[in-house]
Amino acid sequence: MNIHSTINRRRLLQSSLVAGAVMARPLLPGANAAPSGLSPKGLGRAAWVEMLMKVSEPVIANLAAQQLKKNMPVEAQKGHETKRAAATHLEALGRTLAGLAPWLAASGLDSAEEALRVKMAAQTRKALANAVEPTSADKLDFTVATQNLVDAAFLALGLSRAKNELWDALDTTTRERFVTALQSTRKFKPGKNNWLLFSATIEAFLASIGASWLPEPIETAITAHEEWYQGDGMYGDGPKFHWDYYNSFVIQPMLLAVLDLMKPFDARWEGHRATIMKRAQRFAAIQERLIAPDGTYPPIGRSITYRCGAFHHLADMALRRQLPVGVPPAQVRGALSAVIQRTLTPTGTFDDQGWLRIGLSGHQPSLGESYISTGSLYLCTFAFLPLGLPPDDDFWSGAKADWSACQVWNGADLPADHAI
């Protein structure tokens, strides 16, 4: 099977989605250049779908064909390539799935998008089966490195975001293999930081599917993050505050996901929801204000090479329809479109075979920490969560709107921002 031919055939179908859409041509005229003659707020749903396919299809298609380990490069900090290779393929799957899943579960699509969704969902289920099939060339080991705990949690998060379309549609043997794989990550003890939420998310997903689960990791994660709350919608990554994007990459979305997963089965943590949600809405407001008129944002802190994944939380709150008062969904569509454009379209973002390369705006390998490798980069798919909303939702159907930074810097007289 020629996997590149398969991807090219699929892109013929995608072209029907994006005929006339702005992403049918390069969004940026050159590496790191500012947009010229193009309004990011004009990027519509078809453009988002095309970009999500461009990012996610190499991972899913290759794993479905048992060619992921063969074809995916392992870019990493010099000297760390061999170590990162042990975990990078599970990273790629878990992170891609967590961002792709809401779209795979979407409804109310037009015929062209629905046809693409159905095909991609089937291919994703095949990829998942291959990941745990003992004879598969791409069988993934969930116990080879501590990093596996992280990406087992992202995989569980993805399965939960499209439970009917993915988990429930897998055969019994594949589901049993995943349960065993997820439970096997209990061998890893999470650090006293955001990693507590990886163990909690895995246990919460296991509970949600009726498998054997442990309450202690959930209790520990929720209690610890309550203790680590710093104020104004921000948690410490451990006892101390770190100025980075981990409140968005992991902390706030996973706190909400754990509560959601546990509510139908064990409501002992529901008493935390109102407080966690109040903080989440404030942090979503902060994230929206961080996006500059040109789609840039402060390149602060570690893991900046997750690109637009830095706005996982804002995208998640849009998907939940729980954006803060004063931040309309269409305004967030414009802001996220601008970030997607600025981080995924510069020259050098992808290699010649379509794989992501390390960087924030183009290829910038020095921005990658020692734990960053090719598979890590697929966390950028988290920005695409609102594709789980139907096309007639206000997020997609609302009139084009400038986000807060655009309004302020164009002279609009906005209400003053306040802490909680």
- % of the chain at pLDDT higher than 90: 90
What span, in angstroms and rounded, lies between the C-alpha atoms of 360 and 303?
Answer: 10
pLDDT for 159 equals 98
Give the count of beta carbons closer than 10 Å to the beta carbon of residue 187.
Answer: 11
- What's the pLDDT band for 36 if we cut at 50, 70, 90? very low
pTM beyond cutoff 0.85: yes
3-state secondary structure of 271: helix
CA-CA distance, 40 to 38, in Å (whole number)?
A: 6
Whether pLDDT at 392 is above 90:
yes
Question: What is the DSSP annotation of 193-222?
Answer: STTHHHHHHHHHHHHHTT----SHHHHHHH
Residue 187 DSSP symbol:
G
Q: 341, 397, 364, 414: which is closest to 26 by C-alpha? A: 341
Does a structural domain hold residue 388? yes
148 within a domain of the structure (yes/no): yes
Would you say residue 159 lies in a domain?
A: yes
Instruction: Write the CATH number for 92.
Output: 1.50.10
Q: Note whether residue 19 is domain-resident.
A: no
**At how many degrees (to 10) do helices 196-208 and 147-161 cross?**
40
Residue 212 has pLDDT above 70, yes or no: yes
108 within a domain of the structure (yes/no): yes
> 71-107, pLDDT tens digit by residue?
999 999 999 999 999 999 999 999 999 999 999 999 9
Domain range for 58 is 3-14+43-409
Summarize the confidence of residues 252-256 as an average pLDDT: 98
List alpha helices for 228-310, DSSP H. Answer: 246, 252-262, 273-290
| pLDDT given for residue 197 in this prediction | 98
Residue 329 to residue 316: CA distance in whole angstroms: 12
Would 28 be classed as within a structural domain? no
Q: Which pLDDT band, with edges at 50, 70 and 90, does 43 fall under?
A: confident
Give the per-residue pLDDT at 7: 59
Q: What is the pLDDT of residue 6?
A: 53
Q: Is the dihedral of CA 299, 301, 304, 308 positive or negative?
A: negative
Domain tally for the chain? Answer: 1
Task: Assess if residue 283 is contained within a domain.
Answer: yes
| pLDDT tens-digit series, residues 267-322 | 999 999 999 999 999 999 999 999 999 999 999 999 999 999 999 999 999 999 99
C-beta neighbour count of 137 within 10 angstroms: 13
- Neighbouring CB atoms inside 10 A of 364's CB total 17
Structural domain includes residue 418: no
pLDDT digits over 100-150, tens only?
999 999 999 999 999 999 999 999 999 999 999 999 999 999 999 999 999
Give the pLDDT mean for 189-205: 98
The DSSP bridge partners found for residue 373 are 76
How high is the mean pLDDT of the chain? 92
Q: Is the pLDDT of residue 1 over 50?
A: no
Q: Give dist(CA 155, CA 134) in Å, integer.
A: 18
Which residue shows structure tokens 């020692």? 370
**The pLDDT of residue 10:** 54
